[in-house]
Amino acid sequence: MNTSSTLLSVIRLIRPYQWVKNLFVFMALFFGGRMLDTSCWLPVIVAAACFCLCSSAIYCLNDIIDAPYDRLDPDKSHRPVASGAVSVPVAAATGVLMAVAGVAWSIAALPAGATMVLAAYLIMNVMYCFKIKNIPLLDVIVVALGFVLRVVIGGVAAHIWVSQWIVIMVFLLALFLALAKRRHEVILVLNREKEHGRRSVDGYNARFLDMALCLLGAVTLIGYIIYTLQPRTIDQFHTDYLYITALPALIGILRYLQLTIVDNASGDPSRVALTDGPLRLAAIVWLLLYVTIIYLL
C-alpha cells in the first residue's frame, strides 16, 4: 500500500466528519449571548480543536477494539482497521499521538478546569470502549455525557456561565440521538438475524426505543420552551420572544423521529445532520430566528 493511500486511510480512521459534534463546544458562546465578544472566541476555538483531537483518539481506540466484530458486519467491515487498510500499531500510535496533542494543547492554552474536563472525557470514553458500550442504557448515558462535557469545556475555556437548562437539554438531546442510533442497530440485527453485533443491543428492542425516543423528544422540547420563558433568560437577552424558536425545534425533532422510525436512517447522526435537507432547513431557520431575536431585535 502506498503512502498516499495509507494517509487517506488514517484520515478515515480519525473520522473528521464527526468533528461536527464539537460545535457543541460553542454553545456556551451562543446561549451566553457572547457571540460578538471576540475575546471569547480564541479559547473556545482551541477547546473545540482539543476536543477534535481527543475524540479522534477515541475513534482510533474504538476501531481497534471493535475490529473483530466489524469484520463480520457488512456496514462496518470497510473501516480502516477492520479492512486492514490501517494496521493496529499505526492506529494505536495515531490515537496516542492525537490524545497527547489534545491534552498538551489544552494544558498550554486553556484554564486548568478545561484540561480537567478534557481528561474526564478521555477517561470516560476509554472506559466506554472497553466495557460500558456493552451495558444497555449506561452506554447511551455516557455518550450523552460526552456532549455535556463539550458544552462545559466551552464555558470553562471562555469563563462563561452555562445555564443548567442548557446542560439538561443538551443531555436529553444527545440521549435522544444515541437511542435513535441504537434503534438503527437493533433493526439491522433483527433484519439480518445476526448475533455478532454490539452486545448492548441485546438490552433493547424497537418498541422500547420508539417509546423512549418519543418521551425524550417531548421532554427535550418542553425543557427548551421552559428555558425560553425563564425570567433569567428573558432578563439575559432582554426579550420574551425566544419561545418562537420552539417551532423549528419541534419540526427538527419530528423530522428526526421520522428518519428514525419510518426510514430507519439514524445510524450515523453526524451524517444525517449534514445530509438531510429538511433537517438542515429546520436547523437553519431555528438559528436565524435565534440570532435575529437575540442580536438584531
d(CA 182, CA 200): 9
pLDDT at 1 over 60: no
**What residue has cell string 466551552?**
154
pLDDT at 231 over 90: yes
Q: Average pLDDT of 192-197?
A: 52
pLDDT at 254 over 90: yes
- Residue 75 sits at φ, ψ, to 5 deg, of -80, -20
Residues 6 or more apart whose CB falls under 8 angstroms from that of 90 comprise 6, 10
Q: What is the pLDDT of residues 139-151, one digit of tens each?
A: 999 999 999 999 9
Higher pLDDT, 201 or 294: 294
CA geometry: angle at 113 spanning 143 and 142, to 5°? 10
pLDDT of residue 193: 53
Q: How many CB atoms lie within 10 A of CB 62?
A: 21
Judge contact between 283 and 252, C-beta under 8 A: yes
pLDDT of residue 113: 96
Per CATH, domain 1-162 is 3.40.50.300: no
